[in-house]
A and B are shown apart, each in its own frame.
Chain A
Amino acid sequence: MDFYLTALIQGLCFSAIALGIYISMKIFNIPDITTDGSYTLGGVVTAQFLTHHQPVYLVVPTVIAAGALAGALTGLIHTKLKINALLAGILVMTALYSVNLTLLGRSNIPLINTTSIFTLINIATDPNHNTFWILLVFVIIVTLLIGYLLKTDFGIAMRATGNSESMIRSLGVNTDRMKITGLALANALTALSGFLITQFQSFADINMGIGIVIVGLGSVIIAETLINWFKITSVWLSLVLVLSGAIIFQFVLAITLSIGVDANLLKLVTAVFVLLIVSLPRLSFKSSS
């Protein structure tokens, strides 16, 4: 039971990254892989603040700002220097590795005897249950904020930017600025996942972000498959499905491990699993036509 609770908690931790990827990939139509760097950045900032005994309410805005800065940088390179978004992301991600290492000072910082968001309040006696409830509230708040944002006039303009650039420019929106804002938002969310995971696993590691983009990508693709399946147009339902995508993804990984697959093969399994979800709609489409 604890095994699945851990998977659920990890899924909730990764739901922020999934929301971030959903914003960059589905809403803005930009393949952004700054993710690996900004996720680690979130973890690194968290670890440094907490080991220096800074309060959690200070850590959250700092992590958001750091992630947003990384995303804005990718956005600036992509829009102002007209460099392919993938390359812009790779450049910032690579540069962030050095930044993260400098911030961290060494390759790994454990969080021992520090406060964390999960020890702030005691709702349940079991620490894992406590973590779950705090996490659930945190994720719900983040989702509500993003959902509200997407419903506002600004949010509609955001959604139109990735959908019909010529239209939204003729309606008075500076699409360059909008994309920079969007990438900043996406990476702020990604950094929040780093913030959550670091506290959950009680350490920050310079390599914690390697391949993390696939977790977000996989979650969003699961969500997208469901969205297309049920022809969902509601913003709220889409966000809920993105969250479910993140949780389903972690469950699949947990089940893979529990049936005895070597942990070294986990990244391979992850890649194959994402490939399967991507190709599934096409394969089934082929056989039905």
Chain B
Amino acid sequence: MIDLKNIHKIFNKGKANQVNAINGVDLLINEKEFLVIVGSNGSGKTTLLNLVAGSELPGKGNIHIDGHNVTKLRDYNRSQWIARVFQNPLSGTAPDLSILDNFRLAAIRTKSKGLSIGVDEKFKKQVKEKIETLGMGLENKTEQPMGTLSGGQRQALTLLMSVMDSCKVLLLDEPTAALDPRSAEVVMLTADKLVKDFKLTAILITHNLKDAYNYGNRIIQMGEGKIIKDLDQQKKSALKQNDLFDWFG
């Protein structure tokens, strides 16, 4: 589904503060794979995710998504395949827009944003039913601005928004880093359920080794812009939580 070939990415090339963020990564992610990426700060995890999303373009190498060469496509052109949840709950939603308007934009992620009014009674009902599945009691607040909600609520809604339109790849960039433990659990369980229900290919970046252990069916560890460990489903299930801690020992 996602094929990265010999990817290099250098920031501030030729300057004193040059950073070799990604140093030759080859990675093939199959359909319905739920890949977890761990690694210390500065290991290149987020850059790798940005390269897949298209918010960064690689200096060298090729990227294919669903058989299409997307190497030179920007993030807004890759949205036909990719939905994204950001580390900062503020980044994934528009705070001054109502929940309904946020969902409307998500519902036409892969389509053009035309000059017709899309928020009608039918759409409102559809959004309410979707939000009800979260069980957070938000279904009657759809007219409220997104900014009035807590970080956890916003992340959960962002997840839900990602499957409003056809979606093949879900990118999760430390979605729970800014949340309290309880909200974090709800968000991770929601993510896991959506990945399974909608048969998504997903990439999760996390610093939480418990989440890395509990979720996903493949795990890689990154360091200095390279993949240093790659465990498939079989090896991952054989892994013990303490082994993971040892990786960072």
A165 to B74, alpha carbons, bound, how many Å? 14
A174 to B109, alpha carbons, bound, how many Å? 12
- Name the residue of chain B whose CB is nearest to the CB of A149: B115
Cβ–Cβ < 8 Å partners of B114 in chain A: 152-154
The DSSP consensus for interface residues of chain B is loop
Of the candidates A157, A164, A167, A170, the one whose C-beta lies within 8 Å of that of B113 is A157
- Name the residue of chain A whose CB is nearest to the CB of B145: A233
Check B92 for interface membership: any CB of A closer than 8 A: yes
Check A160 for interface membership: any CB of B closer than 8 A: yes
A148 to B115, alpha carbons, bound, how many Å? 9
- Minimum CB–CB distance from A29 to chain B (whole Å) comes to 10
- The reply to whether A153 and B94 contact each other, CB–CB distance below 8 Å, is no
Q: Which of A153, A170, A175 has the most CB of B within 10 A?
A: A170
Check B118 for interface membership: any CB of A closer than 8 A: yes
- Minimum CB–CB distance from A167 to chain B (whole Å) comes to 6
- The reply to whether A153 and B116 contact each other, CB–CB distance below 8 Å, is yes
Task: Report if A164-B104 is in contact (Cβ < 8 Å); known contacts: A169-B76, A174-B76, A233-B98.
Answer: no
Check A156 for interface membership: any CB of B closer than 8 A: yes
- The reply to whether A164 and B90 contact each other, CB–CB distance below 8 Å, is yes
- The reply to whether A156 and B109 contact each other, CB–CB distance below 8 Å, is no
Task: Report if A171-B86 is in contact (Cβ < 8 Å); known contacts: A152-B118, A163-B97, A164-B93.
Answer: no
- Minimum CB–CB distance from A153 to chain B (whole Å) comes to 4
- The reply to whether B113 and A156 contact each other, CB–CB distance below 8 Å, is yes
- The reply to whether B75 and A154 contact each other, CB–CB distance below 8 Å, is no
A168 to B97, alpha carbons, bound, how many Å? 12
- The reply to whether A172 and B94 contact each other, CB–CB distance below 8 Å, is no
A171 to B82, alpha carbons, bound, how many Å? 9
A115 to B106, alpha carbons, bound, how many Å? 49
- The reply to whether A170 and B97 contact each other, CB–CB distance below 8 Å, is no
- Minimum CB–CB distance from B142 to chain A (whole Å) comes to 12
A168 to B55, alpha carbons, bound, how many Å? 12
Of the candidates B95, B110, B113, B143, the one whose C-beta lies within 8 Å of that of A153 is B113
Task: Report if A159-B97 is in contact (Cβ < 8 Å); known contacts: A166-B86, A170-B79.
Answer: yes
- Name the residue of chain A whose CB is nearest to the CB of B161: A171
- Minimum CB–CB distance from A200 to chain B (whole Å) comes to 31
Of the candidates A149, A151, A156, A167, the one whose C-beta lies within 8 Å of that of B91 is A167
A175 to B75, alpha carbons, bound, how many Å? 11
Check B48 for interface membership: any CB of A closer than 8 A: no
- The reply to whether A171 and B115 contact each other, CB–CB distance below 8 Å, is no
- Minimum CB–CB distance from B177 to chain A (whole Å) comes to 16
- The reply to whether A160 and B110 contact each other, CB–CB distance below 8 Å, is no
- The reply to whether A172 and B98 contact each other, CB–CB distance below 8 Å, is no
A164 to B101, alpha carbons, bound, how many Å? 13
- The reply to whether A163 and B95 contact each other, CB–CB distance below 8 Å, is yes
Cβ–Cβ < 8 Å partners of B119 in chain A: 151, 156
A173 to B112, alpha carbons, bound, how many Å? 8
Per the 8 Å Cβ criterion, residues 229-244 of A in contact with B are 233
Cβ–Cβ < 8 Å partners of A175 in chain B: 76
A233 to B101, alpha carbons, bound, how many Å? 12
A28 to B92, alpha carbons, bound, how many Å? 18
Q: Which of A166, A167, A173, A233 has the most CB of B within 10 A?
A: A167
- The reply to whether B105 and A157 contact each other, CB–CB distance below 8 Å, is yes
A151 to B101, alpha carbons, bound, how many Å? 9
- The reply to whether A166 and B91 contact each other, CB–CB distance below 8 Å, is yes
- The reply to whether A172 and B110 contact each other, CB–CB distance below 8 Å, is yes
- Name the residue of chain B whose CB is nearest to the CB of A159: B97
- Minimum CB–CB distance from B119 to chain A (whole Å) comes to 8
Task: Report if A173-B113 is in contact (Cβ < 8 Å); known contacts: A157-B105, A233-B98.
Answer: yes
- Chain B 133-161 per-residue mask, 1 if CB under 8 angstroms from chain A, else 0: 00000000001110000000000000000
A170 to B81, alpha carbons, bound, how many Å? 10
- The reply to whether B55 and A169 contact each other, CB–CB distance below 8 Å, is yes
- Since A156-B97, A159-B94, A233-B145 are in contact, a sample of 12 more A-B pairs with Cβ atoms closer than 8 Å, ordered by chain A residue number, is A153-B104, A154-B114, A157-B113, A159-B96, A163-B97, A164-B92, A167-B94, A167-B105, A172-B80, A174-B76, A175-B76, A233-B98
Interface on A for B, CB 8 Å cutoff?
148-149, 151-154, 156-157, 159-160, 163-164, 166-175, 233
Cβ-closest 9 pairs across A and B: A172-B79, A163-B94, A164-B94, A157-B113, A160-B94, A170-B84, A166-B91, A153-B113, A153-B118
Cβ contacts A to B, 19 pairs, < 8 Å: A152-B117, A152-B118, A153-B108, A153-B116, A153-B117, A156-B101, A156-B118, A156-B119, A163-B95, A163-B97, A169-B55, A169-B76, A169-B79, A170-B83, A170-B84, A171-B76, A171-B108, A172-B79, A233-B144
